[in-house]
């Protein structure tokens, strides 16, 4: 059984209903930084549905958890 994760940051953005080209992802990350200690799902720039998806992905350690973690790290690193 193949249990490998076939998701990417691009597919996470698609799942969240966000523009998902490399340039659009880079612009989102540049324009939406988390403040020190802020939880990804608590950031003010998410819709309620997006925030719930992100929180549940981490809480349940879903197959999206790696990409959600990657996004959180990206949003805390200064460009």
Per run of 10 residues, the mean pLDDT along the chain (length 79 residues) is 69 98 98 93 97 96 95 87
Rg (CA), the chain: 12
Residue 45's domain comprises 9-74
**Is 1 part of a structural domain of the chain?**
no
**Is 44 part of a structural domain of the chain?**
yes
Q: Write the CB contacts of 77 (distance below 8 Å, at least 6 apart in sequence).
A: none
Is the CB of residue 56 less than 8 Å from the CB of residue 48?
no
**Is 2 part of a structural domain of the chain?**
no
Find the distance separating the first CA and the last CA of the chain, reported in whole Å: 39
* Residue-level pLDDT at 36: 87
**Is 16 part of a structural domain of the chain?**
yes
Which CATH number do you get for residue 60?
A: 1.10.10.1130
CA distance 22 to 3: 26
Domains in the chain, number = 1
């Amino acid at each position: 059984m193949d249990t490998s994760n076939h998701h990417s940051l691009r597919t996470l953005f698609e799942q969240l209903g966000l523009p998902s080209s490399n340039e659009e992802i880079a612009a989102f990350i540049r324009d939406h930084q988390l403040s020190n200690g802020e939880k990804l799902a608590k950031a003010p720039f998410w819709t309620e549905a997006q925030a719930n998806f992100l929180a549940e992905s981490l809480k349940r350690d879903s197959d999206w958890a790696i990409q959600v973690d990657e996004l959180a790290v990206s949003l805390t690193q200064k460009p």
